[in-house]
Amino acid sequence: MRHLNLADKVIMLADNALKTLAGGYQTTPREKPVSQSDAGELTTEDAKHSAGLMRINHCGEVCAQALYQGQALTARLPEVREKMEQAAAEENDHLEWCAGRLKQLDSHTSWFNPVWYAGSFAIGAIAGAVGDKWSLGFVAETEHQVVRHLDDHLQKLPSNDHESRAILIQMREDELEHATAALAAGGAELPGPVKKMMGLMSKVMTSTVYYV
């Protein structure tokens, strides 16, 4: 990024945003998590509920991509920038899995994803500009909040939606690893008011995206 001019950076950021929102992003060679249990037949109501939860998780991954891209843009140390970019690449698997499950449930991703992407990118850029230790701390807190959401969703999923459950379990494991890595790299614990603000924004997102 240091050897690129402003126009190059803008083009790269626009490309990342389009790929995140419209597809075409690079995933890892990992296979989609598959449940060992037989697929259960979901009722119309259960399928709608599962779709709402998976739409929230997909939107959460869109926000994570935007946060990481924004932080990578303003991170000061090259190794921190690389960690942001690596985390973003790993999160692409989650995007793919959630989008695929939504199609299976005959549903769609959130229509407000572009809005959430823009807002999350701005927050990430600000966090990166404040300082690398706070940027990494922001990543850790974000991932910890995501883990709590995933725990909640695992409880709320219909008992026979084994496919969605397998995806969320693997996502939870990955997010916890990202949080641990961010703290190990020097991330600072965020002040209480910042954590509360992040939690409030998350509630607004989840309550909206479940439906649209």
Q: Which residues are annotated as a binding site for Fe cation?
A: 61, 91, 94, 143, 175, 178
Nearest CA to 205 out of 55, 4, 23, 70 is that of: 55
| Diameter over CA atoms, the chain | 54
In angstroms, the CA 26 to CA 155 distance is: 31
In angstroms, the CA 187 to CA 63 distance is: 20
> Which residue reads 């119309």 in tokens?
44
Point out the annotated binding site.
Answer: 61, 91, 94, 143, 175, 178
Q: What is the sign of the dihedral through the CA atoms of 28, 206, 123 and 180?
A: negative
Q: Is 171 helix (H, G, I), strand (E, B) or coil?
A: helix
> Which of 153-190 are b and which e, b meaning 16 or more Cβ less than 10 Å from the residue's Cβ?
beeebbebbbbbbbbbebbbebbeebbebbbebebbeb
Tokens of 100: 């695929």
Tokens of 21: 């929102």
Nearest CA to 146 out of 35, 65, 33 is that of: 65
DSSP state of 110: -
